[in-house]
Structure formats: structure tokens, C-alpha cells
A and B are shown apart, each in its own frame.
Chain A
Amino acid sequence: DTGVSQDPRHKITKRGQNVTFRCDPISEHNRLYWYRQTLGQGPEFLTYFQNEAQLEKSRLLSDRFSAERPKGSFSTLEIQRTEQGDSAMYLCASSLPPQGLASTGELFFGEGSRLTVL
């Protein structure tokens, strides 16, 4: 397995346009996360899936953001009517649930999708 992959790596768009990012997690991982990161800040939690179910969503996430994981494999994050404040790195991560003393519950991150809204 080659790890978590994200596409596109970079996206430049004009304000008001819709954008969609795709994430392909590590195949045996049932947990998938989306984070947003701006310069000088740590990753900010956006949403989480276990298999195809979206189990948690940040209260900070506006209605313009929607995420799906239709078959419990890849996931998409769509931002509608983009604003300049949406400019950030969007990170996807996958993991197995932490179980047992040997488990670290670590997140495996992709390289991110950098969004610039003009």
C-alpha cells in the first residue's frame, strides 16, 4: 500500500466557485478524518468517518462544507461558494481504532490539498 493519497495537491479558484477534494485512505483503515490547517497553526478537526458513516462533524464547519465516504473507501470534501477565508491546507488521514496496549491509534496523513481562493 502506498499510503494515504490526496488529489489535487494544489487548487486555485475564484471566490464563489465550488471545489472538491478526494482522499484515498490506506485500504484496511476504517477510520477517515479531514483536517484543515493554516500557516502557523496545527491541524483543525473538520469531520470523521467510520466506514461510510460520518460520526462527527466540527461545529465550526459551515453548511458550505460537505463530506462523503460513499462505500467506506475513498472520501470527498466539497466546499461550495468558496470564500477567501477557506484558503488553507486540507489534510486527510486514516487510521485503525486504538485497541490493546500495542496499538497507537496513530493517524496516517496524506500530503494535503492546498486551496487558494482568489
Chain B
Amino acid sequence: SQKIEQNSEALNIQEGKTATLTCNYTNYSPAYLQWYRQDPGRGPVFLLLIRENEKEKRKERLKVTFDTTLKQSLFHITASQPADSATYLCAFYSSASKIIFGSGTRLSIRP
């Protein structure tokens, strides 16, 4: 079955540095990947989508890459700020209608 893997360990980095989160998938070739942010006790919020024919997508301080050979997406936050601290989830459509999520990576930015 399709599977998404994210680093389950929390990522702690210094303010101002670039945070890089990894999403690996198996047993599927998604046409596109989505990234969401989730704050404690809240529902996830959509951030970015990247399609299989796009190597890279940017939005303000966010950058997402998609390597269909490695079956991997990387999510970067440049010039990180304490307000970026949250859990980040990757997801894809495993069928025409069903979206499955990874377990998420908790990011903590220390001042």
C-alpha cells in the first residue's frame, strides 16, 4: 500500500537558519505533493503544492522540491523564525479522491 514517511524526530534549529524537512513515499507515483502546517490543537493548514513536472516551488520563505526518482520531497524554510515552530505534514492524492498524510515532523525554532 502507499506509504509516506517523515522524520518522526523533532527538528530543533537556531533562529535565522534554514530548516529542511524530508518526505519520502513508496509504492506510488503521485502526480503532486502537498505540504501542510499544523499548530497544536488546530487543524492542518495548506501551504504549498508541487507537481511531478516541477522540480522546485517557492512561496515567500518556503521552498519545496520534488524528486520523482528518489521518491522524495524536501521542504525548506529559510531565515527561520520562532513563529515557524509547528508540525509540518506532507500529503498526496493516493486515488482520485483520497489524500493520505505522513506522520509529520515537529519543528522547533529557538531564539
Query: Using a CB–CB distance below 8 Å, which chain A residues touch chain B?
Result: 4, 31, 33, 35, 40-45, 48, 50, 55-56, 91, 93, 97-98, 104-112, 114
| B98→A45 contact, CB < 8 A | yes
| A112→B99 contact, CB < 8 A | no
Given A42-B89, A91-B43, A98-B93, A104:B34 Cβ within 8 A: yes
| B97→A48 contact, CB < 8 A | yes
Query: Using a CB–CB distance below 8 Å, which chain B residues touch chain A?
Result: 4, 6, 8, 32, 34, 36, 41-46, 49, 89, 91, 93, 95, 97-104
| A105→B44 contact, CB < 8 A | no
| A106→B34 contact, CB < 8 A | yes
| B46→A107 contact, CB < 8 A | yes
Kindly report which residue of chain B lies nearest to residue A33, judged by CB atoms: B99
Select B95's contact among A56, A112, A114, beta carbons within 8 Å. A56
Q: How far is the CB of B47 from chain A (nearest CB, A)?
A: 9
Given A93-B43, A106-B46, A108-B46, A41:B103 Cβ within 8 A: yes
Select A48's contact among B4, B91, B98, beta carbons within 8 Å. B98
Hey, which chain A residues are within 8 Å of B45, CB to CB? 109
Kindly report which residue of chain A lies nearest to residue B104, judged by CB atoms: A42
